[in-house]
Amino acid sequence: MSRRRWLIGGIAGVVLLAGIAGLYILLRLRAYEQKIDDAIFSGIGPGDVRDGVYRGEYDADFIAARAEVTIREGKLEKVRLLEYRHGRGEAALPILEEMARRQRLDVDAVTGATNSCIVIRKAVELALESAPPRNP
């Protein structure tokens, strides 16, 4: 009989641990979704800040980016990622060239990598927001 109790106790323990792990993952997913939803963009652009090199980062838990932005003569000369944690969001990388080509941050997201694009755009925006204004 003690083997049976031990087996039932072991199964109950595994079920309990699985429930706790599931709850933890669910809470992390909820926080991730909230950080994506909270990524509101200000509309700042390369012409709004002084020339220089600026860095910004945005961490949405499952996706995070640290960007370096180079502004020269009021134009977005270069955008590069210093760090990028993305899971399957590698498809979002063309958004960097698109921002530089169009000279603005509000470019279309890459299909299938929308959240990664949001995180990258937010990191770039925060880099620009860290810069002194062009005309103080």
User: What's the chain's average pLDDT?
Assistant: 91
Query: For residue 71, is it within any domain?
Result: yes
pTM (2 d.p.): 0.84
Query: For residue 4, is it within any domain?
Result: no
- pLDDT computed for residue 1 by the predictor: 60
The structural domain count of the chain equals 1
Sign (positive/negative) of CA torsion 127, 131, 135, 136? Answer: positive
Query: For residue 37, is it within any domain?
Result: no
Between CA 2 and CA 73 the distance in angstroms is 79
Please state whether beta strands 52-59 and 64-72 pair in parallel, antiparallel, or not at all (unpaired): antiparallel
**What is the CATH classification number for the domain harbouring 91?**
3.90.1010.20
pLDDT tens for each residue of 29-64: 899 899 999 999 999 999 999 999 999 999 998 999
Query: For residue 2, is it within any domain?
Result: no
Query: For residue 35, is it within any domain?
Result: no
- Name the nearest CA neighbour of 104 among 123, 131, 89, 124: 124
pLDDT tens for each residue of 81-103: 999 998 777 889 999 999 999 99
In which domain, by residue range, is 116 found?
46-129
- pLDDT computed for residue 94 by the predictor: 93
- pLDDT computed for residue 110 by the predictor: 85
Query: For residue 6, is it within any domain?
Result: no
DSSP assignments along 60-107, one per residue: -SSSEEEEEEEEETTEEEEEEEEEEE-TTGGGGTHHHHHHHHHTSS-P
Rounded to an integer, the average pLDDT of 105-132 is 93
Query: For residue 3, is it within any domain?
Result: no
- pLDDT computed for residue 136 by the predictor: 62
- Cα 43 to Cα 31, 61, 111, 133: the distances in Å are 25, 24, 22, 14
